[in-house]
Chains A and B, each alone.
Chain A
Amino acid sequence: MEAGTSTEISGKVFEQVFKSHFKALHAYAFTILKDEIVAEDIVQQVFYKLWERREQTEINQSVAAYLYRMVYNDSLNFIKHQKVKAAHQSYTRHTMSEGAEHISKKLVAKELSVKIQAALNKLPEQCRTIFQMSRFEELKYKEIADKLNLSVKTIENQMGKALKIMRAELAEYLPVVVWALVTSFIFSEMIFL
């Protein structure tokens, strides 16, 4: 069921839309916010806005695309406000990015996750939504296209773009990872020799 284009949303349809999208949107917000309760509040608020405006709003796109975009925007807004608050408490300084001097092999994997999270945060909305649907919801290109009411070609483009951006963000880091993986591989091979 994909409540489609430019129709007014009735109560019953609204309930279906809510229930069929809630978990995926909640997980989506969580990947941005890392807080279950805030994530639920954001998703609830997005549905509330949609409900309030259901008579005025004509959704000329898929409801899923609309909801994902709202959740994305509201989550980022929330973080922005948090950042302002934190900045008032102290000077915000980012030292994580410069601390790549002593990366031990053990830390590589964990650090990579942190870096990938940061790279993910650099993706524009549509790109991120499509990437997450593919990666985390494990949907095929065709399924994503149907959900978002886009062409498969667009999904292809956006997925290419997503990985390209992430690769660029991780550019300095990837050779280190590959090096760490290769050395640990060589090392374990040597034991058997």
Chain B
Amino acid sequence: MDELLVKYLLRETDDTEQQAVEAWLREQEENSRYFEGFRTIWEESKRLSATSSVDENEAWERFQRKIGNKRGGGAIPLVPAKKKWSLAKAAAIAAVIIGGAFVVYLFSNRNNDLHFESGEQVLACNLPDGSIVTLNRNAVLDYKKDSKDGRRQVQLRGEGFFEVTPDKAHPFVIAVGDVTVKVVGTSFNVKAGSDKTEISVETGVVDVSKNSHSVLLQRNERALVTPSDKAPRKFKSTDNLYNYYRSREMVCNGTPLSSVIEMLNEAYGAEIVIANLGIRNLPLNTTIPAGATLDNILDMISGTFNIRVEKKGGNILLY
């Protein structure tokens, strides 16, 4: 009967089967309640559905590099790139040329260069072109304006949020290690760590490139680049926790607990460990106000999810 009920639920039954199920459901209330159980599971399970935001053509290119790396030669001939890529490629090539110009410029010491170091405090840097860069703690920013073509060139270590003054004639180019971020006027966050560089876009369009591969990011998209990646990977943004060090406010909107904890560890220099895999993805919906203490926040989390918090040595365990 279960199979038939499921079939009915999914509208896969033929007429005879449908009548049989409907008759059975009318037989007694218990039956329809039983069926409602299936319906609840079926309907609620839809929430767990996921769609992939990864482009299959880009994934295929990564796959070919993977084969190439291991076998020392492209076993499969490269697919011709899609038409719309040519524009992105041109931008990437431009970015590389700009990168080259930048290196040359480093040696021609001009005095409109600016140097910022945030140290232990979040630091807002006002650049001569009107752009504002908010540096997270322990970040370093160098700014130069090309005297010839007026390009705005920046080098970043650590994390910074950029609000770039629009100026079509003079692109704003950020070098983060071997990753290049190029914009005209927009706001976005760049976070450079040793294991990955992450760029999250708030407004406008941002071109992120590495080697000769580039991706275009729009609002609510982010790019990730790890040192072993040949090209940036593009994803949808799942949260905007990166706002934290600017606004001192943490806005969680269905944000998985693991991301919140990662953020707290960074913001508070804490060592919080999720000791129960089952709670890693619990979605948190709340705004943690500026000035909240770590204990306040942990109390709130433990209350919301019925999670136990235990302090052990320097660690805080959640399970």
A166 nearest in chain B by CB position: B41
Q: Does A150 contact B (CB under 8 A)?
A: no
Q: Is B85 an interface position by the 8 A CB rule?
A: no
- Point out the residues of chain B lying under 8 angstroms from A178, CB to CB: 33, 36-37, 40
- Chain B residues positioned under 8 Å from A126 (CB to CB): none
Q: Is the CB of A116 within 8 A of B275?
A: no
Contact among A43, A94, A166, A174 for B276, CB-based, below 8 A? A94
Contact present for A11 and B76 (CB under 8 Å):
yes
Of B53-61, B96-104, B117-125, which stretch is located at the interface? Answer: B53-61
Asked if A92 and B62 make an inter-chain contact with CB atoms under 8 angstroms apart, the answer reads: no
CB atoms of B50 and A99 under 8 A apart: no
Q: Tell me if B319 and A23 are in contact (CB < 8 A).
A: no
Nearest to A114 among chain B residues (CB) is: B282
- CB neighbours (8 Å) of A136 from chain B are 46, 48-50
Contact yes or no, B49 A19, CB < 8 A: no
Given A19-B60, A96-B279, A163-B38, A30:B45 Cβ within 8 A: no
> In the complex, are the beta carbons of A91 and B224 less than 8 A apart?
no
What is the size, in residues, of chain B's interface with A at 8 Å between Cβ atoms?
61
Cross-chain contact B319 with A79 (CB below 8 angstroms): no
B308 interface contact, C-beta 8 A:
yes
Does B230 sit at the interface, judged by CB under 8 A?
Answer: no
Q: Please tell me which one of the listed residues B4, B48, B52 contacts residue A26 in the complex, with CB atoms under 8 A apart.
A: B52
* Residues in A whose Cβ lies below 8 Å from that of B31: none
Are A160 and B40 neighbours in the complex by a CB distance under 8 Å? no
Interface: A72 (CB within 8 A): no
Find out whether the CB atom of B41 lies under 8 angstroms from the CB atom of A163: yes
Q: Please, which residues of chain A bring their CB within 8 A of the CB of B277? A: 79, 82-83, 86, 92
Output the least CB separation between A136 and chain B (Å).
Answer: 4
* Interface size of A in residues (CB-CB distance below 8 Å): 63
List, in ascending order, chain A residues with CB within 8 A of B276's CB: 92-96
Instruction: Tell me, in angstroms, the Cα distance from A92 to B60 when the chains sit together.
Output: 38
**In the complex, A30→B45 CA distance in Å?**
15
Residues on the B chain within 8 Å of A22, using CB: 52, 54, 56, 59-60
Residues of A within 8 A of B293 (CB): none
Q: Mark B107-148, 1 if CB is under 8 A from A, else 0.
A: 000000000000000000000000000000000000000000
Which B residues are in CB contact (< 8 Å) with A48?
63, 66-67, 70
Q: Name A155's closest neighbour in chain B (CB-CB).
A: B12
The answer to whether residues A159 and B10 also contact, given A31-B50, A136-B50, A178-B33 and a CB cut-off of 8 A, is yes
Is A18 in contact with B63, judged by CB distance below 8 angstroms?
yes
Q: Residue A27 at the B interface, CB < 8 A?
A: yes
Point out the residues of chain A lying under 8 angstroms from B48, CB to CB: 31, 113, 116-117, 120, 136
Contact A92 B275 (CB under 8 A): yes
In the complex, the answer to whether B278 meets A94 with C-beta atoms within 8 Å is yes
- B7 contacts partner chain A, Cβ-Cβ < 8 Å: yes
Instruction: Give the CA-CA distance A96 to B308 in the complex, in Å.
Output: 10
**For the complex, what is the distance from the CA of A95 to the CA of B283, rounded to whole Å?**
17
Q: Is the CB of A15 within 8 A of B235?
A: no
> For the complex, what is the distance from the CA of A74 to the CA of B38, rounded to whole Å?
30
Complex interface: chain B residues within 8 A of A163 (CB): 2, 6, 38, 41-42
Q: Check A14–B52 contact: CB distance below 8 A.
A: no
Contacts of A116 in B (CB 8 A): 41, 44-45, 47-48
B319 x A93 contact (CB < 8 A): yes
The answer to the question of A105 belonging to the interface, with a C-beta cut-off of 8 Å to chain B, is: no
Q: Determine the distance from Cα of A47 to Cα of B67 in the docked complex, in whole angstroms.
A: 10
* Chain B residues at the A interface, C-beta cutoff of 8 Å: 2-7, 10, 12, 33, 36-38, 40-42, 44-54, 56-57, 59-60, 62-63, 66-67, 70, 75-77, 79, 224, 233, 235, 256, 273-283, 306-308, 312, 315, 317, 319
Question: Can you list 9 contacts pairing A with B, beta carbon distance less than 8 Å?
Answer: A15-B60, A27-B51, A37-B224, A51-B67, A93-B319, A116-B47, A157-B3, A160-B3, A177-B40
16 more contacts with CB within 8 A, not counting A92-B276, A141-B7, A159-B10, are A18-B56, A27-B51, A30-B50, A44-B59, A48-B63, A48-B67, A86-B274, A86-B277, A89-B273, A90-B312, A96-B278, A99-B306, A117-B48, A136-B49, A156-B12, A162-B6
